[in-house]
Structures are given as structure tokens and as C-alpha cells.
Amino acid sequence: MRLTDQQLAFFDTFGFLAFPGLFADDIDRITGAFEKVWTDNGGGHFGQEHDGKQRSALIQFIDQNEYLSALIDDPRIHDVCASVLGDDFNYSGSDGNFYVGDTHWHSDGYRDTKYLSFKMAFYLDPVTASTGCLRVIPGSHKYGDVFGDSLQGVRDMRDETDNPSEFLWGVKGDEVPAVPLEVTPGDLVMFNHQIKHSSWGGGDRRRMFTLNFEERYAEEDIETLKQQMASETRFWIERNYGDVIVETADEERMVHLEQRMANDGHMAELARKAREEMAEPSRG
């Protein structure tokens, strides 16, 4: 399922794409696997039942389930990634979530980088603009552009005020001009990690998991990749991938795992230090 030239241009310009109903025939099995992974890990964050008060997050999520791991082999995922990132793209990781309430405006790493990365998101409950669907600000993913850089202020001020959009622009978070991506289970959404996104009005157990992908790094930039991987140890993971996704990988899948696997030797010590310094793994 290669993207068309128009879809590629849309993603480059606006920073997101939606594929309604792409996994409609598979969503029941996907949802069952999602729930099983959570059950196998205690039901919520850090092995505790989800309490509906804070986000529960589980890293290396699809990596723990053979069926979910195979999603990265599926042409509906694989070929889209290859269209955008090249045939030798990296699968960088996955997270499963029970979201609670509002998620304020942010990017998943707004920085100067020459490597494109994005996430694909499966929402397992119907969500609308008023019940917690993803909202994106088209074009806000362009680092160094005056528009994207000006919007970064809404994230930079989070330490100073609980309502940065009101302070900056005089509007509440859910009034910031944006595109709401309302979804039905079975839809797939993908968006550039740098795009500003949020959700508003959601319940206390919104089920969603993501798959993250990036361009393969050049050898001269491996230290940059290692730094990126080091940031993931706040989730207390000692290797980049979980066991199942590696153990069940064929030659084709290994193309998308091999670079991070070859360069994750520093993560175990960093994860050990994180356990000493943190009461629980990060929630995001």
C-alpha cells in the first residue's frame, strides 16, 4: 500500500494523514491483543490496575505480543512507512496507553533534526472532538519555520502556567484552531512527531497504542541515535525492543530492527540509574 504522490505531499505539507477503516476487519483481534498485553502486565501503569486518575503507559507494547508485532510487517503499515522513510526504515518502538482527561498541546520532540520520524496510532474507542480525539495543527511540524517555532511557545510555557494558550492567545486549549481527527475503531492515524497535537474532553480509559518509525541513521550520526534511545530509559527499558518482536522476526522485519539493536548497549545502565532516581517508570 504505497502512498500516492498527493498523499506524500499532504503529509510533508501538513504533517498528518488519516486512513478511515483501514483495519476495520481486524480491529476485534487487535483490541483483544491490546487487552491481553495489559492484563499480562497487571492492568495498568507499573503493574497496578488503571485507576482512571492518571495516564497508564506501557512501552515496548506491541513487542510483547506476536500478533501485534506482525503489524509492522503488514503492507498497510510497512509500505506506508517505506513510502515516506525509505525501504530501510527503522521501527523505533511502541507504547500502549489508557489516557485520562485532556492532553495539552505538545510535540513528541520538537527539535532540529535531519531524520524524519512519525507515529501511527490505533484508537480502540470511538472518539470525537468533544470526547478526546486527536487534534493537530497542520503545518506546525516544520522546525525553523516561523509558524512552527511560534507555536512552540505553548509548550515552553507549561512550567509557568497551566493555561499557556490563554496566556499567549486568549483562548482555551480546546479553542486553538486545529483539525480534530475523529475516529472509529479500525481507523489509522499517522502524524509527524514534531506536529503540535492535543486532545480534549476525553474519558478516563481511552485506549490507544502507537507504532513509531524513523529514517535509518547514517553511520556518522549514530551517536545522535544513541542519545535518542537513551531518552527512552526513563521508561526503565534496558533494550530498545521487547523479546517477542525480535524472536518472531524474519529477515525482512530484521531490516527495521537491526540498527537500534546494534546500538542499544548503553541503555541497561541508564535504565538502572532511572530506577534509582524515579518512583515509577515515566508515564509519557
Say what the pLDDT of residue 68 is.
99
Say what the pLDDT of residue 154 is.
86
Return the closest-CA partner of residue 39 out of 26, 28, 48: 48
pLDDT tens string for the chain (284 positions)? Answer: 899 999 999 999 999 999 999 999 999 999 999 999 999 999 999 999 999 999 999 999 999 999 999 999 999 999 999 999 999 999 999 999 999 999 999 999 999 999 999 999 999 999 999 999 999 999 999 999 999 999 998 888 887 888 899 999 999 999 999 999 999 999 999 999 999 999 999 999 999 999 999 999 999 999 999 999 999 999 999 999 999 999 999 999 999 999 999 999 999 999 999 999 999 999 99
Say what the pLDDT of residue 162 is.
84
Cell triple for 72? 509492522
Q: Can you spell out the DSSP letters for 52-89?
A: SSS-EEEES-GGG-HHHHGGGGSHHHHHHHHHHH-TTP
Return the closest-CA partner of residue 253 out of 89, 121, 116, 115: 89
Say what the pLDDT of residue 156 is.
84
| 5-219 to CATH, choices 3.50.50.60, 3.20.20.70, 2.60.120.620, 2.40.30.10 | 2.60.120.620
Residues 209 and 215: their CA atoms lie apart, in Å, by 21
Number of alpha carbons in the 13 Å side-chain half-sphere of residue 255: 13
Sheet of 179-181, strands arranged across: 103-106, 197-199, 134-136, 179-181
Listed in sequence order, the residues at least 6 apart from 211 whose beta carbon sits closer than 8 Å to its beta carbon are: 62, 71, 72, 77, 91, 94, 119, 120
Torsion over CA of 265, 271, 273 and 279, rounded to 10 degrees?
180
Say what the pLDDT of residue 113 is.
96
pTM above 0.95, yes or no: yes
Say what the pLDDT of residue 158 is.
80
198-to-65, 72, 135, 155, 268 alpha-carbon distances in Å: 28, 25, 5, 11, 32
Say what the pLDDT of residue 157 is.
86
For 198-223, how does the pLDDT look when each residue is reduced to its tens digit (9 = 90+)? 999 999 999 999 999 999 999 999 99
For 162-201, how does the pLDDT look when each residue is reduced to its tens digit (9 = 90+)? 889 999 999 999 999 999 999 999 999 999 999 999 999 9
